[in-house]
Amino acid sequence: MQVLNKAGNNPTVKAAIKAMCAQKKQTDQQLIAIADEMYKDLTSIQINLFALDVLNKEDLSSCEGNCSLLAENLEKLTANNVNSWELIDEAKVLTNKPDRKRDIILLEKISTLHQKAPFNDVTFLARMLPIKTGNQESSAKRYLNADEVVTQFLWKHSRAIETGGGVATLKEELDNLGWFVDTHAQTSNVGAYLHETLQSSSKIKGGLYGMSLLQSGQPLAGLTVIGFEERLDENTDDAEESNLRTDIKFDNLFVETKNYSTVASLTSSSSFISQFEQYLKNVNSFDQIRYYFKQRNEITQTKVKEKFKEIYKKNNYAMFNLIWNNQELQNNLWPLTSRPPGFTKNIAQREFTSWVDKLDNRLFNFINVK
């Protein structure tokens, strides 16, 4: 009886497993076969931990009453689902959520994600950039295997919940990620997008929001994804500009997905402002840009536009100079054929400042809150 042998000298674990067999009203042979399959890759320490979750009891000396949750679904506890249980344990996402490891539906969803072909394809995994593993303070970076991809996802999702939310339930996001991988495994730079998503609790919020927008079919219906984390200007030799990546690239359209808890993040983040500046330096029209913000807390269309208004006005309307120095964007906003006699940069700047105050024109129409 392999499972009882692996339980070591812990008599309460042995008694509990035997009691569970009796509770399920199946023969010992049937349940032992299932248990042996479940436990074949687990250590005796893990078995001792797992028995608690199977029985949902702190007292392992008996199984009187209902052996709930996992015990009631014992026949579904395949080796893959036991592996899912272990991944949850390794991800250390049990703070105030002890029932997660006992949820058979959740275990099956994790198992399904874990077995996705791309996550078990060395070529696909090599397309992901090295990522920090283990403690966030660790400097060690390496490519992930399937176990680590799932563990990182579970961990970062849990941290996102703890740091203000902005993501759906774990079950929903597991389905979301599974759909994304099935649909875009061959899309350019998908590995870089997943790498970015798994970087931190804040990054996973934006990444999962982007996935949900794509999966919903709206508001990007009819558009074909060309790539993820693509360079805005493939031909630039400028080191600064070459670092600009767009979250999702469609044909002649660059989409950014943002998931903030407060609008203050827009003006307090130098990287956010720097990214927007790079767009103004490179696009030919505001129609090439779409920013999507997840609607939550104080994030509303009007409040986001007000923050962009602050950005436009920053440093005495410095953004105007970026637009004016981008000849294509300048001509798009002030077409040569429409300029009145005596049109000058000063006239354009006065018109720009009036647009900034109105919030209902091309300077703001790329902003979407969904």
Give residue-wise pLDDT tens across range 179-207.
999 999 999 999 889 988 998 889 999 99
Question: What's the pLDDT score for residue 301?
Answer: 94
Q: Phi and psi dihedrals of 229, rounded to 5? A: 50, 40
pLDDT band with cut points at 50, 70 and 90 for residue 140: low
In this predicted structure, the answer to whether residue 275 has a pLDDT above a threshold of 70 is yes
Question: What's the pLDDT score for residue 62?
Answer: 47
Question: What's the pLDDT score for residue 9?
Answer: 47
pLDDT band with cut points at 50, 70 and 90 for residue 250: very high
Average pLDDT (5-14) is 49
- Neighbouring CB atoms inside 10 A of 131's CB total 18
C-beta separation of 15 from 59 below 8 A: no
Question: What's the pLDDT score for residue 24?
Answer: 52
Find which of 63-72, 119-128, 361-370 is predicted with most confidence, using mean pLDDT.
361-370
pLDDT band with cut points at 50, 70 and 90 for residue 148: confident
Dihedral sign of CA atoms 325, 365, 358, 342 in order = positive
Question: What's the pLDDT score for residue 59?
Answer: 46
In this predicted structure, the answer to whether residue 61 has a pLDDT above a threshold of 50 is no
- Neighbouring CB atoms inside 10 A of 311's CB total 17
The C-alpha angle with vertex 91 and arms to 86 and 96, in degrees rounded to 5, equals 100
Q: Which residues contact 259 (CB under 8 A, 6 or more apart)?
A: 166, 167, 205, 206, 208, 209, 293, 294, 296
In this predicted structure, the answer to whether residue 123 has a pLDDT above a threshold of 50 is yes
Question: What's the pLDDT score for residue 15?
Answer: 55
Question: What's the pLDDT score for residue 102?
Answer: 65
Backbone region of residue 229 per phi and psi (left: phi > 0; alpha: psi in -120 to 50; beta: other values) = left
In this predicted structure, the answer to whether residue 322 has a pLDDT above a threshold of 80 is yes
Question: Which residue carries 């997943």 as its tokens?
Answer: 194
In this predicted structure, the answer to whether residue 69 has a pLDDT above a threshold of 60 is no
Q: Which helix (H) or strand (E) holds 302?
A: helix 301-325
Question: What's the pLDDT score for residue 175?
Answer: 96
- Report the range of poorest mean pLDDT among 10-14, 145-149, 284-288: 10-14
Question: What's the pLDDT score for residue 103?
Answer: 76
pLDDT band with cut points at 50, 70 and 90 for residue 252: confident
Residue 363 one-letter amino acid = L
Higher per-residue confidence, 82 vs 46: 82
Q: Which residues pair with 1 in a beta bridge?
A: none
Query: What is the C-alpha separation between 84 and 99, in angstroms, rounded?
Result: 14
pLDDT band with cut points at 50, 70 and 90 for residue 60: very low
Question: What's the pLDDT score for residue 242?
Answer: 47
Strands 245-250 and 253-258: antiparallel
In this predicted structure, the answer to whether residue 70 has a pLDDT above a threshold of 80 is no
Q: Which residues contact 365 (CB under 8 A, 6 or more apart)?
A: 286
Backbone region of residue 223 per phi and psi (left: phi > 0; alpha: psi in -120 to 50; beta: other values) = beta
Question: Which residue carries 């300029």 as its tokens?
Answer: 339
Mean residue pLDDT of the chain comes to: 79
Question: What's the pLDDT score for residue 286?
Answer: 97
Question: What's the pLDDT score for residue 38?
Answer: 53
Query: What is the C-alpha separation between 32 and 16, in angstroms, rounded?
Result: 13
Provide long-range contacts, Cβ within 8 A and 24+ apart, for 96-102. 97/158, 99/69, 100/170, 101/53, 102/53, 102/54, 102/56, 102/68, 102/69, 102/70
Query: In this prediction, what percent of the chain has a pLDDT beyond 70?
Result: 69
Question: What's the pLDDT score for residue 337?
Answer: 93
Average pLDDT (344-349) is 96
